[in-house]
Amino acid sequence: MNNRIAIAFAAAVLLFFFATSVTKSGPPKIWEEFSGEKAFAHVQRLVDFGPRPAGSTAIEKSRDYISDQLRRSGWQVTRQAFSDDTPRGKIPFINLIAQFSARGKAASPSFLLCSHYDTKMFDTIRFVGANDGGSSTGLLLELARVIGQHPNLARKIELVFFDGEEAVEQFSQADGLYGSRYFARQLQGAGAKQFRGGLLFDMVGDRSLGITLPADSPAEMARDIFAAAEALKLRSYFTYLGRELIDDHVPLNAIGIPTLDIIDFDFPWWHTGDDTMDKISAQSLQTVGSVALYYLSQFALK
């Protein structure tokens, strides 16, 4: 009898400690659910389509892939189609806009997460844009998967994949940012007021990661991104660039949506044929994705 009591007591103690350890650890935090490997795999799929300039067959394949992945994660996708004059004539563009399928509850997005998914048009090199166009799109697809598992958060977010970010020839008031300029024009006024802010991701996969926020970044948002990175012990990967950048955040800021450009502009292979998969890493995508989710859950939408 004594042995039985002793065994029962030992079992109870083990059960107590097991239950206590489970309670202490709890479910993973949302920023721990992000997979850099999954994001990297998305980039690989996009790069496999080849160069993806606006109006190409390859970018249409990219649209189909992006739309399919979003729907699998519970998002409803709308194609915002338009055409615009470019130095090479009129070109068709399509932005992809996704809101969470709320299952009876009306989605009321108040925050934008954005990326461009086109690659720059070149005649002399084969530009597949693993980092420039690919990395941010793969990252946003993985963010969509993770956020989609948290409906209360997902309903507050709108995802936008911009077409035509790249200039056909050279960035100017009339060349480049075609998708974000059109999106902003459709949204300006009352539509813009529903959004309290946004994050734009661009070139976030560099193996030697160094996120360089533009000098004109919204100050409070930049401070909170730095705080999120600090909380995850990743602050060393984030700094200021020291100058402004022309990117898809510009039209959004112009209509009153404070938008932060999360970009690593110190990338030696920018707009060269060597912007390939070997120049990016799953770990860099993991770093940016984790910080973004910490920022969203602990600062932007808390």
What tens digit of pLDDT does each residue of 222-280 get? 999 999 999 999 999 999 999 999 999 999 999 999 999 999 999 999 999 999 999 99
Residue 14 pLDDT exceeds 80: no
Q: What number is the average pLDDT over the span 139-164?
A: 98
Mean pLDDT of the chain: 92
Q: Which of the four pLDDT bands, split at 50, 70 and 90, describes residue 180?
A: very high
Task: Tell me the H-state helices in 133-279.
Answer: 136-148, 151-154, 178-187, 190-193, 219-231, 249-254
> Does any domain span residue 82?
yes
48 domain-assigned:
yes
Could you give the number of structural domains in the chain? 1
pLDDT band at 25 (very low <50, low <70, confident <90, very high): low
Is the pTM higher than 0.75?
yes
Structural domain harbouring 66 = 34-300
> Is residue 2 in some structural domain?
no
Task: Let me know if residue 291 belongs to a domain.
Answer: yes
Alpha helices in 149-199, H assignment, sequence order: 151-154, 178-187, 190-193
Angle at Cα 208 formed by Cα 203 and Cα 210, nearest 5°?
A: 60
pLDDT at 1 over 80: no
Question: Residue 104 — very low, low, confident or very high, per pLDDT cuts 50/70/90?
Answer: low
Per the structure block, which two tokens stand in for 104?
């009876």
The CATH number that applies at residue 149 is: 3.40.630.10
Residue 238 falls within a domain, yes or no? yes
280 falls within a domain:
yes
> Per-residue pLDDT for 5 more than 70?
no
24: pLDDT strictly greater than 60: no
* Residue 125, in any domain of the structure: yes
Report residue 292 CA to chain centroid gap: 8
Among 20-34, 69-83, 177-191, 279-293, the range scoring the smallest mean pLDDT is: 20-34
Has residue 4 been placed in a domain?
Answer: no
